[in-house]
A and B are shown apart, each in its own frame.
Chain A
Amino acid sequence: METNKKEVETSNERNQSSKQANRRKVPQLPYRNLDFPYAPTNLLSEEQLEEIHETSLEVLEQVGVAFLSKRALSVFKAAGADVDETTQRVRLDRNLVMESIKTAPSSFTMTARNPERNVLMGGTRLNISNATTPPFCSDLKGGRRVGTFEDYCKLLKLCQHLNVVHFLYGYPVEPQDLPVETRHLDAYLAYATLTDKVWRAYATSEDALRDGVEMARIARGIDMEQMRGEPSLLSNINTNSPLQYGGSMADGLITMAELGQPVVISVIEMAGATSPVTLAGTMAQQNAEALAGVALSQMVNPGTPVIYGSFTSNINMRSGSFVLGTPEFVQIGIMSGQFARRYGLPFKFNNSCTSNAIDAQAAYESQMSIWACMMGQPNFLAHGVGWLENGLTTSFEKMIVDCEMLQMASRVLEPIEINKETLAFDDIKDVGPGGHYLGSKLTMKRFKDAFYEPLLTSWENYVTWQKKGGVDLVTRAHDIVNQMLDEYEEPVLEPSRREELDAYVERRREEIQTSVG
């Protein structure tokens, strides 16, 4: 067994070096921090913003939000909210809400196990994450399938290798072949070993959350005291609209706050179904739901980092189903940004699409989403790469398509260099009327990285493209996936931390399996 393994490794190495000798690496932009250099767009005037905000306050005061969690209800009660134990409804006076949220930081840093992958959540910073938690995945060769741990690991490697991905918003696909109770242990171990970026623990159970915090701590090689002061992983809390926080979500929010770790409160309104059919009404309800959660986090632990998140869109009125990448989705994204900034909170929005194929629809729906991002300026772009089918599937090839689109967007964010050299007067003078710049002094100096170099886009003319096989986009993306998986390098993890993680996972697996019985 040992010998065979060695032989396989050597042959892989040989293949790798010959491949690399024949083919240049996939031209990615380097990993870098992105900042919006221009002001965000405001769809709403100051007055309109306040009108909606006023309605949100009225909803919180008069209608209230239900929290299906005893822990949450007691925190609210202690803070002075009007709590109805029978209906589990919490009504919050406007002063209580607005005072409570004041302690939430407008900006914070999440520390990865590789400090060069720390994430600044706030200000003008844009951080891109991966499509998360779909039940299915797909690729050109294997087709659409239920997610497995093998797919999960491959997708994680891609997420690690893609420089455009700043952190992991969650499982790139749900590894459904692993038993539910212990799934998170193997999934988190893979996060911590196959990547060195910040990752997200799941609040679907108390175990899943606490094990996540512990494993992130071990991977960083620090103690719990340091961990509390340095947010190192995040979790996601969804509301159950309208106006409801489910038990595990509310409890997860509280646990993360107690441990000093950040949460993104991601409100998912489906306008017309779980929120009012009008966008103004939907925004009013979204704010109410978000503010209630933010207030809770601060009541538990003032200063807990928390992100104002939205995954709100409209429904298809003919079928009742949720649809994404729509004009309404874009408007909601831009308005949500305005509210997050009004409340002094970092902001999360999304790349998304409803299309079932990697076709023009997927591209334009994702582009609509990216447009919302460019104007609404989230600090946290969720589901940046890989999303397909309204979130049911992560597509390997779509990850590359999204990567291309996001890389292009990131180039648009680069400030224009204005100085004596770039104004190019000398070149203009040298070349003169009717000349050309292809070999000019300045061009010779700057040609290599003068312009964005695509990794997927075909720029050939028709004849050349045909001669090279007329290869379509999805096939090209598929090849890039394979090439990137070849190029992937597992980030170094101190052996002692690896041992401790392995031991933790095995111990917890046994404990959980025994308790499940």
Chain B
Amino acid sequence: MSHLEQITQALLNIDGENLNTLVEAALDNGIEAKDILNQGLIPAMDIVGEKMESGDMFIPEVLMAAQVMAGSVEILKPLLSDDELSAGGIVIIGTVKGDLHDIGKNLVAMMMESSGLIVHDLGVDISPEGFVKTIKEKNATILCMSALLTTTMPMMKQTVDAIVEAGLRDQVKIMIGGAPVTQSFADEIGVDAFAADAGSAAKAAKAFAA
């Protein structure tokens, strides 16, 4: 097996120690950091994502895999340029104002990070101004909003309006999700995507960057 194949396998085995050793060895062997990330680590997480969707992996295992990957990415970070790091996209994610629910959002954030995107999770109860501010600060390319209550869904539209007003609509792709959210609501308020679960959210985010 090549270095990169071994790295993919170690991550699939959720073996953090071994993975980090292999990453160091790969670097010593002259393999570029961005190749280790894009051809070693991310393909493993793509497989993890598929296994999550098909129910072949348990969520705690997916979480562990994501943590193990994040650990190895720390080794690569100093060697990656900003562009290489953010090639997949820079995501701002949060639950809208008035809403405190975040379990689903947390899973989405984790899956997106594991897919190679940079994710800034703002948490819950985020106002339209809060989203706009962070989009500017982090040069975000993707905004993800979550709501569990029908009474807080209107905040999604208000946030879109605030983004348009700030002249940022062309900069970000906007995705929404949450139990009461629908495709037709997404169409109505003019966002770019609706995702029904973490797996499809991560896929949609990746497709934005492509």
The DSSP consensus for interface residues of chain B is loop
**Given contacts A244-B100, A273-B103, are A180 and B182 in contact (CB under 8 A)?**
no
Tier of interface size on chain B: 20 to 34
Contact across chains for A240 and B103 when beta carbons are under 8 A apart: no
Which residues on the A side are within 8 Å of B180 (C-beta)? Answer: 135-136, 174, 392
Contact across chains for B58 and A318 when beta carbons are under 8 A apart: yes
B30 at the interface (CB under 8 A from A): no
Among A171-187, those with CB < 8 Å from B are: 174, 176, 180
B101 at the interface (CB under 8 A from A): yes
**Given contacts A204-B151, A392-B179, A392-B180, are A317 and B103 in contact (CB under 8 A)?**
no
**Given contacts A135-B150, A204-B149, are A320 and B107 in contact (CB under 8 A)?**
yes
A88 at the interface (CB under 8 A from B): no
Measured in the bound complex, the distance between the Cα atoms of B68 and A486 in whole Å is 62
B-contact bits for A257-285, CB 8 A (1 contact / 0 none): 00000000000001001100000000000
- Which of B57, B103, B151, B182 is in CB contact (< 8 Å) with A146? B182
**Given contacts A317-B59, A319-B59, are A246 and B100 in contact (CB under 8 A)?**
yes
Contact across chains for B103 and A270 when beta carbons are under 8 A apart: yes
Which residues on the B side are within 8 Å of A274 (C-beta)? Answer: 103
Chain B residue nearest to A146 in the complex (CB): B182
Give the shortest distance, in Å, between B191 (CB) and chain A (any CB). 17
Contact across chains for B60 and A317 when beta carbons are under 8 A apart: yes
Give the shortest distance, in Å, between B197 (CB) and chain A (any CB). 7
Measured in the bound complex, the distance between the Cα atoms of B123 and A244 in whole Å is 15
Among B87-132, those with CB < 8 Å from A are: 98, 100-101, 103-104, 107
Measured in the bound complex, the distance between the Cα atoms of B98 and A68 in whole Å is 12
B167 at the interface (CB under 8 A from A): no
Among A269-308, those with CB < 8 Å from B are: 270, 273-274
Contact across chains for B101 and A240 when beta carbons are under 8 A apart: yes
B154 at the interface (CB under 8 A from A): yes
Measured in the bound complex, the distance between the Cα atoms of B198 and A106 in whole Å is 44
B78 at the interface (CB under 8 A from A): no
Measured in the bound complex, the distance between the Cα atoms of B180 and A146 in whole Å is 9
Chain A residue nearest to B103 in the complex (CB): A273
Measured in the bound complex, the distance between the Cα atoms of B183 and A136 in whole Å is 14
Measured in the bound complex, the distance between the Cα atoms of B60 and A136 in whole Å is 31
B-contact bits for A180-199, CB 8 A (1 contact / 0 none): 10000000000000000000
Chain B residue nearest to A273 in the complex (CB): B103
Give the shortest distance, in Å, between A504 (CB) and chain B (any CB). 22
Measured in the bound complex, the distance between the Cα atoms of B73 and A333 in whole Å is 45
Chain B residue nearest to A183 in the complex (CB): B151
Point out residues on B near A: beta carbons under 8 Å. 52, 55, 57-60, 98, 100-101, 103-104, 107, 149-151, 154, 179-180, 182, 184-185, 197-198
